[in-house]
Amino acid sequence: MKLYGYWRSSASYRTRIALNLKGLGYDYEPVHLVKDGGQQKQPAYQQLNPAQLVPTLVDGDVVLNQSLAIIEYLNEEYPDPALLPTAAKDKALVRAMAYDVACELQPLTNLRVLQYLTGPLGLAEEQKIAWVKNWFATCFSGLEKRLQKHSGEYCFGDAVTLADVCLVPQMYNAERFQVDLSDYPLIATISQRLKALPAFAEAAPERQPDAQI
């Protein structure tokens, strides 16, 4: 199996966590999102991932983009440990929390979106940061309420799920942008607890071979 990713990419980080949780070894192929104008835009990479984003997973003749699709694929092909609960209702609740992070928040803070704000739209750096913090506040407020209802040790009860796999990388982004986390005690506590687990710790950006610290 080969994972194309970038050390600081939260979507790559999610995929690394899932691979580690499943105990799956993989080759890591760094795609530098800034160098050379962004290696994700180069023709050779676009053959694999026309969306020009990381991650991409190659498993034999299967080539997949979209981290959540990749993780669900891994979860079906390699079911142990399960990253989704069994009951339909619970599964949907976990997916909804994962999507709150991966579909509503992360895309608004993605590199190319921020580059468009400060490039063609001419926003100042402080306006960009205000944009990022606004969407963190909106989305984290909602997620905190969901956690009040559904969390245990982790986001949904006491087992690690897809929601946790999405939360930790988003917290990494929150720290990068110095988001004030004081209104989100459950997000902060659960995230700290998760980060201590080996599968999460080994997936951390600073532990990757392409890390530039």
Ligand X SMILES: N[C@@H](CCC(=O)N[C@@H](CS)C(=O)NCC(=O)O)C(=O)O
Binding site for ligand X (CB under 6 A): 9-11, 33, 38, 40, 53-55, 66-68, 102, 110-112
To ligand X, the closest distance from the beta carbon of 118 in angstroms equals 13
Structure tokens at 186: 């459950």
Nearer Cβ to ligand X, position 50 or 149?
Answer: 50
Closest C-alpha among 181, 120, 110, 19 to residue 3: 19
The residue whose two tokens read 């990253």 is 83
Nearer Cβ to ligand X, position 91 or 112?
Answer: 112
Buried/exposed code over 117-148 (b: 16+ C-beta within 10 A; e: otherwise): beeeeebeeeebeebbbebbeebbeebbebbe
Question: How many C-beta atoms surround the C-beta of residue 172 within 10 A?
Answer: 18
To ligand X, the closest distance from the beta carbon of 150 in angstroms equals 22
To ligand X, the closest distance from the beta carbon of 122 in angstroms equals 19
Nearer Cβ to ligand X, position 38 or 157?
Answer: 38
Give residue number: closest CB to ligand X. 112
